[in-house]
Amino acid sequence: MLIVCPHCATLNRVPDDRLKDAPVCGQCGQEILPAAPVTLTDANFERFIAKSELPVLVDFWAEWCGPCKMMAPQFAQAATQLQGRAVLAKVDTDANPQVSVRSRIRSIPTLALYRGGQEVKRQSGVMPAQELVRWVGA
């Protein structure tokens, strides 16, 4: 399984049976499948989405957005539950306008699920953690 390190963007090969063993990056030594959402930016979004062989669920959000603040703990809880099966990531739309425009983000929070580098699902609005877990698995 190919996994992009969320810290240094190095591509790591991890055997499928080791995904639950907290694998670390061969370059920077940090955990590549953290139990918390990773931060994506204009600089690393495309590589992370395109190269990750695990599904990537992205929460497009903004600091000033009330529903986004309600969504944050639900998203973090889902990241813990999906660790090793999917990567959950967050993109601050104000700080990363290029990826927000390329992704055609019209409202926030918006969730987009990517598999094999392609967007396969999109949902706007707040979603509870259990529903997020089901949504990624469906």
Q: What is the CATH number of the domain that holds 99?
A: 3.40.30.10
Q: Is residue 2 part of a domain?
A: no
End-to-end Cα distance, the chain: 20
Number of domain units in the chain: 1
Residue 26 in any domain: the answer is no
- How far is residue 92's CA from residue 1's CA, in Å, rounded to a whole number? 28
With cut-offs at 50, 70 and 90, classify the pLDDT of residue 9.
confident
Confidence of residue 108 (pLDDT cuts 50, 70, 90): very high
- Tell me the pTM: 0.92
- Give the domain extent around 84: 34-137
Q: What is the DSSP letter of 14?
A: -
In this structure, is residue 15 part of a structural domain? Answer: no
State pLDDT tens for residues 64-103: 999 999 999 999 999 999 988 899 999 999 999 999 999 9
Residues annotated catalytic, as ranges: 65, 68
Residue 18 lies in a domain: no
Query: Is residue 6 one of the residues assigned to a domain?
Result: no
13-63 confidence digits (pLDDT tens)? 998 888 888 899 999 999 998 889 999 999 999 999 999 999 999 999 999
Residue 133 located in a structural domain: yes
